[in-house]
Amino acid sequence: MVEVGTLIWRSHKQTIDVVVMNDVDVSTGIFQMNKFVHVWMHHDAETTRYTCDCSMYGILINVNDADEVCCHIRFLKEHVEANIHSLFNSDSDTLKTAIGVMLKRSIASIGQPVVKLDQHKLNHKFSVFSDDQIASVIVTLEKNRFVCTNGECRALKSHKRKAVSLDDSASLCQHLRTLNQNKAPWKEFVTELLEDDNTNIPVTDVPEEPLHCKIVSNDIEH
Ligand SMILES: [Zn+2]
Ligand SMILES: [Zn+2]
């Protein structure tokens, strides 16, 4: 996790912290470079309680003490919890270990509505804020199409759209709406994919503008 993993702090409030990190395959225990989970730390005066949206936590919460078994919560308890105070206070210079350096990097994009998580060539993953700016969900961008993985959004059928038609779409889920309002983290990947998808268009006809959306979506007028 410390050497190759992703750990990104999404929200930091007095009673809640939310971080996103790599998932681990529940059956093989293999670290997953391009799958991510959100972990919540709920603070009260005395203690911190954890919840995680990984499948391991979902399975174990009903039969066991999931706090002790979910590897994400174990990692945060063992390596992060004791450093939170230093991390968010002026003594963060004391964090000089490998974990400390990782933690300092993890808070760089705190509060940003859309954060890219993957290092994959084609299959992109973003952590996108919900409207409360505390919770985040994973949205995938693959073959020029966004899919929000949140269960409620899926149920409402507002979770799946071509990236090029976000602007024209009235019934977006809150996360796709947020993506539409924050194009900077993703627009370069859509351009790549559009060029790949339009192999029948001569290269010289492809405009240089990054979001040449209208080429594929302007047939409404005709
Ligand atoms: Zn977990
Ligand atoms: Zn959504």
Model pLDDT for residues 42-96, shown as the tens digit of each residue: 999 888 999 999 988 888 777 766 566 688 999 999 989 988 888 888 766 667 7
> What separation in Å is there between the alpha carbon of 120 and the centre of ligand 2?
22
Q: How far is the CA of 175 from the centre of ligand 2 (A)?
A: 4
Flag whether pLDDT at 215 surpasses 50.
Answer: no
Gap from CA of 165 to ligand 1 centroid (Å): 34
Q: What digits encode the pLDDT tens for the residues 134-153?
A: 999 999 999 999 999 999 99
Residues 6+ apart with CB under 8 A from 190: 141, 144, 163, 164, 210, 211
**84: closest CA among 146, 20, 13, 24?**
13
Residue type, 62: N
CA of 7 to the centre of ligand 1 (A): 13
Q: Once rounded to an integer, what is the mean pLDDT over residues 199-222?
A: 39
Q: Would you list the domain boundaries of the chain?
A: 7-109, 114-189
pTM of the shown model: 0.81
48's enclosing H/E stretch is strand 48-52
Top-confidence residue, 66 or 199? 66
- 150: which 2 tokens? 């949140």
> In this predicted model, which residue has the larger pLDDT, 66 or 28?
28
Measure 22 CA to ligand 1 centroid, in angstroms: 9
Cα torsion angle, 50, 51, 54, 58, sign? positive
Ligand at minimal distance from the CA of 156 is 2
pLDDT of residue 26: 80
- Report residue 110's pLDDT band, with 50, 70 and 90 as the boundaries: very high
Q: Which ligand ends up closest to the CA of 178?
A: 2
- Ligand whose nearest atom lies closest to the CA of 136: 2
- pLDDT (tens digit, 9 = 90+) per residue, 161-181? 999 989 887 889 999 999 999
Structure tokens at 176: 């796709």
Mean pLDDT calculated for residue range 3-30: 90
Task: Name the H helices within 31-110.
Answer: 55-60, 66-69, 71-75, 84-87, 98-106
